[in-house]
Amino acid sequence: MPQHPFAPSSAPTPPPVLGTPAPERAGVQRRRLVAVVVAPLVAAVLLVVSGGPAGPGWTAGALVVAVLVGATAATYVPDPGRPWSSRLGCTPCAGAAGAASLVALVVVASAPGDLGQAMLALAIGGAGLMQRVRGAGEACPTGPGRQG
């Protein structure tokens, strides 16, 4: 029975040298860095495009959408030494999460100050992130980590 490509290996790994990240954590650190960099950039772009904060509700919604977009973008970052294709997935659903992030950005930026649009964008962005986290690409016949 083949092991799931994202499951940790059953072989014990030696403890890392102090100050050196464990190999399996390096990918997590890269994804966190992407999320931390992308979210503020997206938030700044949303605020500039909208002409500045457009009410507390819309602004809070736009900032949360920016965090969702950053988190979704981070899920596409591969582990060190792995190709980008290992995290992209091969099903249409794998691309739908990225598309949902872009749609969420367009929805929230299209109506600055409209709380309803911000809530719709939150729902779209959240659905995209959940889809990405819960299994994009699981149906790949030659999925991540497999040689095809």
Query: pLDDT, tens digit, for every residue of 32-82?
Result: 887 888 888 888 888 888 877 778 888 899 999 999 999 988 888 877 777
- The confidence band for 16, taking pLDDT boundaries of 50, 70 and 90, is low
Distances (CA, A) of 16 to 19, 60, 145: 8, 40, 23
The residue extents of the domains of the chain are 25-133
pLDDT single digits (tens) 90-139? 667 777 888 899 999 999 988 888 899 999 999 999 998 998 888 655 55
Torsion angle of C-alpha atoms 78, 80, 81, 82, degrees rounded to 10: -10
Pull the structure tokens for residue 50: 């909208």
